[in-house]
Structure 1
Amino acid sequence: MAEGEPEDDGSGKRPWADWIVTLTTLIAPTTFIGALLLYFGVAYTDALYEHFGIDAATLGFSTQDYALRSASALYMPAGTALTVALAGVLIYYAARALGSRNTRLPAGRRLSPYALSVCGLVLFALGLLGGLEVWDAGAMDTPLLLGGGLVLIVYGRVLALRLAGTPYPVARERIALALVAALVGLCSFWAVHAYAKQHGDDDARYLARNLWLRPAVTVDTAERLYFPPRQVRETVLPVAGPPQRFRYRYEGLRLLAEANGRMFLIPDNWAEKGGNVLVVPANNAVRVAFRSD
């Protein structure tokens, strides 16, 4: 063995080979999950600020900001998926135990898994028709029907085989099972993306009706700002005393967001009157005071 070459441990593998496998196993799922958090965070944030007429790209949030904002949009889908998976596992093991104890089952029990597959086929057909706009399907209806239908079809097949005491998957169905798994993953991704956008829009509507939840802001500027009538309170600051740079004060504003050295301010009564979102630099060009109600 050449000098400096790592020794073999007798198993045919070099010592660092296990470390590479371990790191690959850890890094790949972490990268994938991080990409999902970023993607869903962008979808949620874009829907949230689009309600106020702001393109999320102009905010300039960091990758960490988007990942953190995705959390609220993933609680419900993740919790629902885990609950359904737990129920499916319990039913599977019950069917396996029943199949191992009863070699001859009543006809009703033998046919019930196939009825489950038929229901899945109907759901898949409805989802396909919704995707083709044959009927007015919602943003989440199509992917949920497609993915849920495929899961029920396969699950019914699995239960039928387990009740008969036959292992699954059988060799001839493995490719089809892999394709179904890919389609279900795609539908899940599609459904969660639609849910994140819907959740962002719902949060935006709630925030617009309850802007008192955001900090109140008073802004002093050197030049007059334009707002639609009766949206903010403008006060001309007195000139008495030492000369001051700030001449106008604006009250009745709320901090909507702050990113990249900019503050996005919105009027208190935006929900009733609509209007503009003011963008001001977070530097000495303006004087800002915050208060909580």
Structure 2
Amino acid sequence: MTSEPTVENRKEPAEPEPEPHGSVEAAEPSPDDLVEAAEPAGSTGHPVLRWALVVLANVTVTTALLVYFGWQLSAVQAFELGIDESILDMSTKDYVLRSVRPVLVLLMIIGVAGLLWLQADHVLAPRARKDGTGDRLIRHTLRALSLAWLVLPLAMWALGFVLQTASFLAFPFSIGAGVLLTLYGTHLRTLLPGASPRDGLPLLYTFTSIIVCVSLFYGATNLAIYQGVSLAQNLIVGDLTKVTLYSTERLYLGAGKESALPASTGKAAYTYRYGNLRLFAHTGGRYFLIADDWRRDQGVVVMLTESSTIRLELGGS
């Protein structure tokens, strides 16, 4: 009897499992992870200062602040001169250019304050980690920071009884600064020995961002009001560019000195000349002129649209 051939079941060799680093994609690091990785161990001030820098140096916030400040400044100055800001028809570029200098000064002050804050953090953070509230400086600092959101605005308000202008300008910014200091106090408490993680910190950062941004725009409003009134009150007409206006038709202007042109002047196309005028502004295709003897309590602002029937000569004696 012939025996049937046996079939030997052979197990195929298992494919080697891929190395973990070959098949598993590394998670995309977040911006905060990259910042933390770049910082040396034990660095200070990280969460609050990084967050404040992101809020204050945000391009959108800065641009909006420039445009808003320029608009507010123009509106107040125009109101003081007796005209409405809308007739100036300024563009976004005009608003930004008018506000660059004061807003940059404001951002410079904020930057210097941030550097001082960072230096203070280099002193406070290590002591908070080491001795906690057993350190007298840390204990008193935490008490002061916990009340900064209330004490700082109240102090600026009380300053108004002595220095009204300083209080008017500083009060809005004191609100944002007080809230930031209180937030920093919360951060210091997380560094104390044995401190447990605090819940709700993301919401705390969010609400603080709102208050800081509002205080910036509030403060920009007060600063623009102050500067707009100051520009109008201290306007020196003699420093403005002198204007001589020629027209093919009589314009019946409420300012300046009108005279008819004889044919011998060589300006046959123009029959009227207007002198004793100064250029207040040129925007939106319009000229805004005032008389040499213009004053805030009397006098008008003349608005002329660019046209082929008029010609302006600027400067001269």
TM-score range, shorter chain: 0.7 to 0.9
Does the 8 Å contact 2:145/2:185 carry over to 1? yes
Match of 2:245 among 219, 228, 244: 219
Match of 1:264 among 278, 284, 288: 288
Does the 8 Å contact 1:44/1:73 carry over to 2? no
Change (3 A) 1:128 1:157: farther
5 Å-filtered alignment, 1:9-88, equals 11=25, 30-88=59-117
Which stretches in structure 1 are left out of the alignment for 5+ residues? 1-8, 14-28, 130-135
AA of the residue aligned to 1:223: R
Does the 8 Å contact 1:123/1:146 carry over to 2? yes
Q: Deviation of residue 93 (structure 1)?
A: 2.0
Match of 1:201 in 2: 229
Match of 1:249 among 248, 251, 273: 273
Q: Secondary structure at the match of 1:41?
A: helix
1:114 partnered with 2:143: yes
Distance 1:88 1:99 in 2: 16
Q: Deviations over 1:12-47 (max 9, x none)?
A: 99xxxxxxxxxxxxxxx5455433332222122222
Range 191-200 or range 237-246, more displaced: 237-246
Does the 8 Å contact 2:70/2:98 carry over to 1? yes
Change (3 A) 1:167 1:51: farther
Distance 2:182 2:262 in 1: 76
Change (3 A) 1:217 1:89: same
Root mean square deviation of aligned Cα: 3.7
Does the 8 Å contact 1:96/1:165 carry over to 2? no
Distance 1:35 1:168 in 2: 39
Q: Secondary structure at the match of 1:269?
A: coil
Q: Secondary structure at the match of 2:252?
A: coil
Distance 2:128 2:149 in 1: 22
Alignment length, in residue pairs? 260
Which stretches in structure 2 are left out of the alignment for 5+ residues? 1-22, 28-57, 159-163
Change (3 A) 1:81 1:241: closer
Does the 8 Å contact 1:234/1:251 carry over to 2? yes
Q: Secondary structure at the match of 1:283?
A: coil
| Larger gyration radius, structure 1 or structure 2 | 2
Distance 1:180 1:92 in 2: 19
Q: TM-score, normalised by structure 1?
A: 0.72
Distance 1:243 1:73 in 2: 45
Q: Deviation of residue 173 (structure 1)?
A: 4.2
Q: Deviations over 1:64-93 (max 9, x none)?
A: 222222212302221121111221121112
Q: Deviation of residue 197 (structure 1)?
A: 3.2
Distance 1:110 1:42 in 2: 45
Identity fraction in percent = 24
Match of 1:191 in 2: 219
Q: Structure 1 stretches (4+) deviating beyond 6 angstroms?
A: 126-129, 166-169
Change (3 A) 1:109 1:292: farther
Change (3 A) 1:11 1:285: farther
Q: Deviation of residue 289 (structure 1)?
A: 1.1
Range 136-145 or range 147-156, more displaced: 136-145
Match of 2:11 in 1: none
Does the 8 Å contact 1:280/1:286 carry over to 2? no
Distance 1:103 1:147 in 2: 27
Distance 1:187 1:259 in 2: 31
1:238 partnered with 2:245: no
AA of the residue aligned to 1:263: Y
AA of the residue aligned to 2:120: I
Does the 8 Å contact 1:117/1:155 carry over to 2? no
1:288 partnered with 2:293: no
Distance 2:196 2:71 in 1: 39
Distance 1:248 1:74 in 2: 44
Q: TM-score, normalised by structure 2?
A: 0.67
Change (3 A) 1:213 1:168: farther
